[in-house]
Amino acid sequence: MIIRPRPRGWQLLYIRRGSIVPAIAPRVLAIGGLAVGATLLAEVWHPFAAGGLAVAPFTLLGLVLSIFLSFRNNACHERWWEGRKLWGQLLIEARGFARLANALLPADAALRRRVSRPLVGFSHALAAQLRGREEIAAAMPWLEPDQLAAFERRNVPDGLLALVAAELAASLRAGRIDSYLYGRFEAHLHALASVQGACERIAGTPLPFAYTLLLHRCVWLFCVLLPFGLAGTLGWATPVVSMLLAYAFFGLDQVGEELEEPFGLEANDLPLDAMVRTIEIDVLDALGERPLPEPLQPQGYLLQ
């Protein structure tokens, strides 16, 4: 995620970090080159200039296309925002679990550690799962040597939640906690499992491919044909106008594509690593462990 002050004045013209310009620049330049060719053709072949494509159809097509792009971008932003809310809920549940463990297990530091640290491992494993990284390596430092059986599960984050539930169930059978307290802890574990399931749903269910393909094709057709409709009336202003419109339509398309996958590593994706570090800090602080790691800071305005 890009973290930087809102640009002002001339900064709007040259800021690249976090912009979609690097991603769409080749396409915009290609349309500019095509527009130059269309203008040369209009200058040489005067009948084309006089009777070329009318501008009115492009006006209507551009209006309809912008509406469709807005609908798609709204759907993509909803996925991005839902992902952010889910990770906010994960943070709340981890804090609530650690607070409950401190309040209701004050005399059992070993049990607090054995059930709280795996939750940090859960957040690391979930982030790794969503980003295609190695889940076991991410969660390994947060488990005790006798807790590594959690990694035998195919779904590592769910295995870690099962591990915490098993630790609490063993304490329940041993009489160290009662059934009511176990139920309170289980409510937090259920909420964490719900967060994981919702994240998996977002990551595994992209927008319908046919809808995305239709918009990609329409954007390209509009931008490719536009110079031929403008060349007869705008002359050598055609490349400039065509590139500006290509920047707008290709840019909207690219922004939607980046927001559609909120858990990736693009500049505008969610900062999962930073949120995992926040959970790590809060749980370790609740356990009284020192020193605490520092929060992750943006590097070159980019917070991962």
Same domain for 122 and 41: no
Give the type of residue at 60: L
Cis omega (within 30 of 0) for bond into 291: yes
| Tokens describing residue 198 | 């919702």
Residue 81 lies in a domain: yes
Check pLDDT > 50 for residue 149. yes
Whole-model pTM? 0.88
Which stretch, 59-63, 113-117, 124-128, 238-242, has highest mean pLDDT?
124-128
What average pLDDT score do residues 177-206 get? 92
Digit-coded pLDDT (tens) for 286-303: 888 888 889 888 887 777
pLDDT band at 176 (very low <50, low <70, confident <90, very high): confident
Same domain for 284 and 218, yes or no, is no
Q: Tell me if 94 sits within 8 A of 283, measured CB to CB.
A: yes
157 within domain boundaries: yes
pLDDT of residue 50: 47
Same domain, 165 and 282: yes
Is there a single domain that holds both residue 34 and residue 142? no
The pLDDT tens digits of the residues spanning 100-109 come to: 988 888 778 8
Residues 132 and 250 in one domain: no
Residue 38: give the domain boundaries.
20-52+208-258
Share of the chain above pLDDT 70, in %: 91
pLDDT score recorded for residue 93 = 95
Q: Is 109 a member of any domain?
A: yes
**Would you say residue 9 has pLDDT above 70?**
no
* Residues 166 and 282 reside in one and the same domain: yes
DSSP string, 10-64: THHHH--TT-SHHHHHHHHHHHHHHHHHHHHHHHH-HHHHHH---SHHHHHHHHH
Average pLDDT, whole number, for the chain?
Answer: 86
User: In this structure, are 136 and 171 located in the same domain?
Assistant: yes
Claim to verify: residue 151 and residue 201 sit in the same structural domain: yes
- Measured at the alpha carbon of residue 262, what is the angle toward residues 257 and 266, in degrees to the nearest 5? 70
Does pLDDT of 230 surpass 50?
A: yes
Distance CA 75, CA 34 (A): 32
